[in-house]
């Protein structure tokens, strides 16, 4: 699984002109799933994101996690994170999982995040044409690939 984690002061997802997710301070997380990803990858990534110390403490040092700040989160599926651009100018998405594999793991990830944080997680809609708006705070943007855990 690949994740792009962005610390935000606000973020929203709009589908067909309707806002389906909206938060203030917290994280916007884009998730890409490939066939080799497992439930263990999802659990590891969930804990990593929830506990990632990228929020400022009283001294403005990035020392607090999403759990510490009780911040909100939006999770958006994004197969383009697995784009391969080595050959030519048209990205290949062959490594990205098809919906029958990706949707159950995406839903598992969201449920695990809700359990980790102890509150609901907002989401986009898998496979939809989404408009994602955010105000990146810092900017702080972190990329994590579960294939590089060690």
Residues 82-97, buried b or exposed e (16+ Cβ, 10 A)? beeeeeeeeeeeebbb
Q: Which two tokens stand for residue 118?
A: 């102890």
Partnered with residue 29 across adjacent β-strands are 5, 75
Higher local confidence (pLDDT), 148 or 63: 63
- Backbone φ, ψ for residue 67 (5° rounding): -65, -40
Q: Give the per-residue pLDDT at 83.
A: 87
Residues 54-63, buried b or exposed e (16+ Cβ, 10 A)? bbbeeeeeee
pLDDT tens for residues 58-91? 999 999 999 999 999 999 999 989 888 998 899 9
Query: What distance in Å separates the CA atoms of residue 54 and residue 123, rounded to the nearest whole number?
Result: 21
Q: Is a pLDDT exceeding 80 seen at residue 150? A: no
pLDDT tens for residues 29-68? 999 999 999 999 999 999 999 999 999 999 999 999 999 9
- Average pLDDT over the chain reads 95
Domains of the chain: 2-148 (3.50.80.10)
Report residue 147's pLDDT band, with 50, 70 and 90 as the boundaries: very high
> Which single residue is written with the structure tokens 């699984």?
1
Residues designated catalytic: 80
């Amino acid at each position: 699984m690949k994740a792009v984690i962005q610390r935000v002061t606000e973020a929203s997802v709009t589908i067909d002109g309707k806002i389906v997710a909206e938060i203030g301070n917290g994280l916007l997380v884009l998730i890409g799933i490939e066939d080799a990803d497992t439930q263990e990858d999802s659990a590891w990534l969930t804990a990593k994101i929830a506990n990632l110390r990228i929020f400022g403490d009283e001294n403005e040092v990035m020392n607090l996690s999403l759990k510490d700040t009780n911040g909100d989160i939006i999770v958006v599926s994004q197969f383009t994170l697995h784009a391969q651009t080595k050959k030519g100018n048209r990205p290949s998405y062959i490594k990205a999982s098809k919906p029958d594999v990706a949707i159950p793991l995406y839903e598992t990830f969201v449920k695990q995040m809700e359990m980790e944080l102890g509150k609901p997680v907002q989401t986009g809609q898998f496979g939809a044409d989404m408009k994602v708006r955010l105000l990146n705070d810092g900017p702080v943007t972190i990329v994590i690939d579960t294939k590089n855990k060690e």
